[in-house]
Amino acid sequence: MKQKKNHSNTIALNKKARHEYFLEDKFEAGIELQGWEVKSIRDGKVNISDSYVILKDGEAYLLGSQIQPLNQASSHVVCDPDRTRKLLLKKRELNSLIGKAEREGYAIVATAMYWKKCWVKVEIYLAKGKKTHDKRDTIKDRDWARTKERMLKHQVR
């Protein structure tokens, strides 16, 4: 009898994105991968902390993501961990991204990579950059919420 593995669908997260940007519109994109990349992803050798999306010739590409090749990977395949990977989006979604990125000055940031059935998906957001004072306000609000929770917890007892 086979035992089911109880794993999360999340492969990699970009936690820095929430600190650096105001995240607004969310999109889910497929990603075009090579065979060795899928094997490395299954092994968890992915980093998307510095990744972002560029738009070129009506297509979306993921830059800055790293997928480290496995040691036992085939020797005849040239493995480039930092290669630019094409994102698979619907035409309507691409047009929306292109319009907002070019006209309104949004950045497009990858925040998560995860499994959806047997497919690897990337969660991308339209984002505006935060200024230093915005980052400080966010930290201050988070600290206040934590302190408030502690105070309420001790009052209940």
User: With 90 as the cut, is the pLDDT of residue 30 above it?
Assistant: yes
Q: How far is CA 92 from CA 11, 25, 97, 98, 121, in A?
A: 27, 14, 9, 10, 18
**48 class by beta-carbon count within 10 Å (0-12 exposed, 13-18 middle, 19+ buried):** buried
**What does the alpha-carbon distance between residue 5 and residue 19 come to, in Å, rounded to a whole number?**
33
User: How confident is the model over 58-109, as pLDDT tens digits?
Assistant: 899 999 888 888 877 666 777 888 888 999 999 999 988 888 888 887 889 9
User: How confident is the model over 132-143, as pLDDT tens digits?
Assistant: 777 788 888 888
**25 class by beta-carbon count within 10 Å (0-12 exposed, 13-18 middle, 19+ buried):** middle
- Whether the CB-CB separation of 74 and 51 falls below 8 Å is answered with no
Distance of CA 88 to the CA centre of its chain: 14
Task: Identify the band that residue 3 occupies on the pLDDT scale cut at 50, 70 and 90.
Answer: very low
Average pLDDT (43-54) is 87
- Whether the CB-CB separation of 123 and 101 falls below 8 Å is answered with no
Map out the domains of the chain with their CATH numbers: 10-130 (2.40.280.10)
| pLDDT value at residue 157 | 62
Residues 35, 37, 39, 41: is their CA dihedral positive or negative? negative
